[in-house]
Amino acid sequence: MRYAVLGTGIVGRTIAAKLASLGHEVVIGTRDPQATLARTDRDAMGNPPFAVWHADHTDVQLKPFAEAAALGETVVNTTAGTAALTALDAAGSANLAGKVVIDVANPLDFSAGVPPTLDPVNTDSLGEQIQRAFPEAKVVKTLNTMNCLVMVEPTRVAGAHNVFVSGEDTGAKKHVTELLASFGWPEGSVIDLGGIETARGTEMLLPIWLRLMGTLGHADFNFHIQGAR
């Protein structure tokens, strides 16, 4: 399968590397590939510039958003929440139509400092905004309630814990659940919350997740829903 991963940050890199390791053809989308490769500074979290990562993952292509989305049979949005709609617009509605769009992003708003707030929140979600903006895409929200390393290696967290999926299309959610299984998520750990409106709930887990990370001093943790079937 060909996957287009939109976003060159640590989440996009981690998911792209995992997909490539599983034998998928992977292309990463960015606004300006030359500018992305020219960056030499570490990001705000101390991660090395994309070019350093890419030198070790030459099997992953780097293309502009639209070219990446056109190549991908499935599209994964890992852009920053505030930039997601702009990036997907650059990817092009025609390149997203009919495809599963896996939304991993969270609408974190850092405009008032740290910790960030959510925008939208309560009566809307980023997942819903994406589905409304691209009605011909099959948007599935998942993996947005944990650290990116846990996303692709759930055994980093001991014991049972859960991952959620939200979306309108049953077939798309089945496809995503199968992908999650290939990442190492047991079938019983996946909780289908229902339609894309339920993405409001998973996005609103981020404030408690961020505070747990600050209290615990690490990100190797996740939510476990006791009594889940």
- Return the SS3 of 184: coil
Count other Cβ atoms within 10 Å, centred on residue 188: 10
CATH number of 2-216: 3.40.50.720
The C-alpha atoms of residue 45 and residue 37 are separated, in whole angstroms, by 18
Residue linked to tokens 């991952």: 163
Name the band, by pLDDT with cuts 50, 70 and 90, for residue 44: confident
Domain parsing of the chain, residue ranges: 2-216
Report the pLDDT value the prediction gives residue 229, as an integer from 0 to 100: 64
Helix, strand, or coil (residue 113): coil
The answer to whether the pTM exceeds 0.95 is yes
List pLDDT tens digits, range 64-87.
Answer: 999 999 999 999 999 999 999 999
* Alpha carbons 76 and 103: distance in angstroms, whole number: 6
Residue 228 has pLDDT above 70, yes or no: no
